[in-house]
Structure 1
Amino acid sequence: MRLPYFLSLAISSLLGAQIPFGELAPMDREEAQRIVDKADFAFQTRTRPVQVRSATMEKIFDHPRMSMALWRYCGFVPGFFGFACPDGSWTLDDTRGLTGRLRCVLWKPGFRVYLVEGRAEAGRLKTPFAVGARMAVAYRYWDSPQGFETHLQTWTALDSAVLGIVARPFQGYIRHRQDEFIAYINGNIATFGQFAERDPGEFREPIRREGDPVAIRDFDLLFPRR
């Protein structure tokens, strides 16, 4: 069931304080604020500690073609491909109807803000219609005594009011799937980051065989032979 409007606004205002709007560029600030104000739903999730350093994870965050090559070698599904765009954003495509575009609009040590556009074609997330959405994401990460930990907050605005009305009976399911999917992605990235840090040689030859020159170059630069 959709939250009452005043309660939704109160929650959005409380969570919105976690995005430092004043530190964003004007156009990014307007877009992030618009998403938060019109969010159909918002949630928070925190990952379990993983024994990998945040410096290693940042290498993975900032080199999408390499990181998606690691993802595919590990056999995680869906089998994403990642591409960097000239404007600094990057895209994801699973070639089966799930696509996304991410822009990091604020970076500070241990903290990033992303603006995301995503689309799932009809049936891709088991909904009878295509779902398009924009997201604002506040992503905190740190090294604790237990390992690498993250805290993620997202605000999701569906592409149109009509879609919001049509999707309303499915919103609980969509929200649950989004929460589950993001936690799954975060956990998998941390897992292959952990193995790349411990034994990068395991990934070197498979990445070379796949043949993406950008992924090969980035991997050799970031994980040099010991």
Structure 2
Amino acid sequence: MRGRVVPQFLGLLLLASGLSAQGPLPLEALAPQHRAAVQDILSRLDFTFRIRTPPRKVRLATVEKLYDRPRLCAAMWRYCQFVPTFYTFEVPPATFTVDDLRGLHGTMTLIYKRPGYRIYIADGRVERGRMGNPMAVGAKMVTAYRYHEGPNGLEGELQTWTALDSALLGFLSRPFRSYIQKRQEEFIAYIFFNIAQGSEFAESHPQEFWEPLQRESDPVALAEFEAAFGRGRKR
């Protein structure tokens, strides 16, 4: 059935904060350490990005279930055989790691949440050669993601800002800014297309994931599946 399955999640590998098209970020609502981290990123900004997601026939409640269970979503992503293959582990209370086991890895921390709106701080690293890069590249990021149910389905807007980990990287990247920006846009669009499609599939056919999750035998992912969709079917 894999040909019918489309993935979800991991759109979350991303970036930084400032002003959204729908108003400023709620800096006053952030914990002091998170507010300081956001302001540090903004003070040495290298890249910004914004994308709107087209409507999908999925409920906001389903998306919230998936975003609250990153380990389950990563397992679904692997079953769908999308690349890169990610593994995710929670670091309570609100952080999870993302790793493709080949040199692309990072952490994401949820710093603000209300229905239809999430803000993450990410700290990512691409090891030398992983994506053709001549040196290791690190970046600190914040992602502001708004999503809501409109007349045609679930719609969203993602806005990101990225600061590279060193002034040297920022300087060396200057001649390639337009190229890097384009590749970043393509990658994020790819991730969020899969998130939307996968969320839609998970709402209509969640039981298709039960048996492959059992084969992986991850008790956390199985427990998250049952919490989100109920116990899987038995044969």
**Fold match (TM-score > 0.5):** yes
Aligned pair partner of 1:70 in 76, 88, 106: 76
Aligned pair partner of 1:97 in 100, 103, 107: 103
Alpha-carbon displacement from aligned partner over 1:155-197 (angstroms, at most 9, x marks no partner): 1000010111122223222222222212211221222221111
Aligned pair partner of 1:169 in 157, 165, 175: 175
Query: What percent identity do the matched residue pairs reach?
Result: 51
CA deviation after TM superposition for structure 1 residue 122, in Å:
2.0
Contact 1:71 1:189 in 2 (8 A): no
2:149 maps to 1:143: yes
Instruction: Name the residue aligned to 1:5.
Output: none
The CA RMSD over aligned residues, in Å, is 1.8
- Greater relative contact order (Cα 8 A, min sep 6): structure 1 or 2? 2
CA deviation after TM superposition for structure 1 residue 13, in Å:
6.5
TM-score of the aligned structures, taking structure 1 as reference length:
0.89
2:217 maps to 1:211: yes
Instruction: Name the residue aligned to 2:131.
Output: 125
Query: In structure 2, how many angstroms separate the alpha carbons of the residues matched to 1:36 and 1:176?
Result: 21
2:74 maps to 1:80: no
2:28 maps to 1:22: yes
Instruction: Name the residue aligned to 1:114.
Output: 120
- Tell me which amino acid in the other structure corresponds to 1:91: T
Aligned pair partner of 1:134 in 116, 121, 140: 140
CA deviation after TM superposition for structure 1 residue 72, in Å:
0.7
Cα gap change, 1:15 to 1:203, in 2 (>3 Å):
closer
Following TM superposition, the consecutive aligned residue runs of length 4 or more in structure 1 with deviations greater than 4 angstroms are: 12-17
Q: How many residue pairs were aligned?
A: 215
Instruction: Name the residue aligned to 1:43.
Output: 49
- Whose helix proportion is higher, 1 or 2? 1
Query: In structure 2, how many angstroms separate the alpha carbons of the residues matched to 1:89 and 1:47?
Result: 25
CA deviation after TM superposition for structure 1 residue 66, in Å:
0.3
- Structure 2 unaligned regions, length at least 5: 1-16
- Structure 1 unaligned regions, length at least 5: 1-11
Tell me, what secondary structure is at the counterpart of 2:84? Answer: coil
